[in-house]
Chain A
């Protein structure tokens, strides 16, 4: 009987914890979603050039790839980290299969943990302390700076993150990154007037920061909403377990009392 009480107490504690985690995640989610709206306009504005000028990396010339995977440091948020890791692993397999070189930048410790054992030699940079506070523009610019000074000259790249769709759904998505060479040698760029190498370089760097910023914002909103759903179902499961355990506990207790009563009565009858 005592192990029932111990189990019941511990499950009740867990339920309290998951409930409070859910409320914290709900508050953070509300704030993240509010900040996501302008960030989305900003990010899509930054990518507009590449879409409208229809810039594509030439298939044969591309030899060096870069993948930026955006997750965070903390778990208990459903399939957020594993989704991004799976996409990255598939990409690496495809690209190395066709003879291209790939390097990965991990934003978030969880991604590093998922990738470093099997794909350790593809990792270029790791970023920690992601997810504790909402991401801002300077975080994105730090990441972009480190990327540009790392010395890895990539021909094409992509940012893989979780795009926020709604409170209960998100989707792993990719946004492209282009190198300066690709952009300047793209055919539609001739339409654009008065561009010299310096201006293009500055523009590209700024666009890089913007894409990373968009990915960070979307990723953090998806993560908070996923954590909210995960903790919600954890609390529900815990309540279910508590109900079942309470029933079995009561049944056992009543059975013991009945047994004692029977012993007493049969003992008295024997006298």
Chain B
């Protein structure tokens, strides 16, 4: 009898807390910052995907993309929002930086890059463009006119520096025309 009582007291009823397993942690959100020196388009926003034109090709960046650094070339940036809508921007060199002398820029290679994109390990993306405009603010007829003018200028001049500048504006205008069509 005594033994039984002792035995019962010695064994406390073990209560185990039981609960559901933790839900799988949600896919990492992409904190997207897209800015030019004079304007901020996205600031730590959560978006689904960003398409970025870089020197090595067009990148599509989704959340949990492997970290990387890239340099932009003039072209169209497409941002796909969480709700499915998309917004397009044209990222390019600022007009003023074209006034830097050609050989200076060649040696530094600032010529072709119009910005940079950084994807970090914590899934934050910083897209910095020297100048960016929403695509709907660009006029296709004006772009075509500029393109023709630049092409005729290229034929007409032999000065290296001027040729290179004209080359950039041709590339930029071609990209604009292609994007707007």
Contact = CB atoms under 8 A, between A and B. Distances in A.
Q: Do A and B come from one complex?
A: yes
Contacts of B13: none
Contacts, number: 114
Nearest to A50: B118
A41 B109 contact: no
Given A39-B37, A206-B71, A137 B120 contact: no
Contact of A45 (B33, B39, B70, B121): B33
Interface stretch (B99-107, B151-159, B171-179): B99-107
Given A52-B122, A149-B104, A138 B110 contact: no
Given A41-B43, A149-B104, A206 B115 contact: yes
Given A41-B40, A203-B69, A145 B110 contact: yes
Contacts of B126: 45-46, 48-49
Contacts of B110: 141, 145, 202, 205-206, 209
B68 interface: yes
B130 A137 contact: yes
B47 interface: no
Given A52-B120, A145-B104, A193-B68, A202 B109 contact: yes
B162 interface: no
Interface string B27-68: 000000101111110010000000000011000000000111
Interface in A194-215: 194-195, 198-203, 205-207, 209-210, 213
Contacts of B37: 38-39, 42, 136-137, 210, 213
Interface size class of A (residues with CB under 8 A): 35 or more
Contacts of A206: 71, 110, 113, 115-116, 128
Nearest to A52: B120
Contacts of A39: 37-38
Contacts of B36: 38, 42
Nearest to A37: B40
Nearest to A141: B97
A155 B36 CA distance: 28
Contacts of A138: 94, 96-97, 99-100
A203 B128 CA distance: 11
Interface string A35-72: 10111011001101100110000000000000000000
A41 B35 contact: yes
A210 to B, nearest CB: 7
Given A46-B126, A46-B128, A52 B121 contact: yes
B124 interface: yes
A39 B96 CA distance: 17
23 contacts: A37-B40, A38-B40, A42-B36, A42-B37, A42-B128, A45-B33, A45-B126, A49-B118, A49-B126, A136-B37, A138-B94, A138-B97, A141-B97, A141-B110, A142-B100, A149-B107, A202-B55, A203-B71, A203-B116, A205-B109, A206-B115, A206-B116, A209-B110
Given A49-B126, A207-B116, 8 more contacts: A42-B128, A45-B35, A52-B122, A137-B37, A137-B130, A138-B100, A194-B68, A206-B115
Interface of B: 33, 35-40, 43, 55-56, 66-71, 94, 96-97, 99-100, 104-105, 107-110, 113, 115-116, 118, 120-122, 124, 126, 128, 130
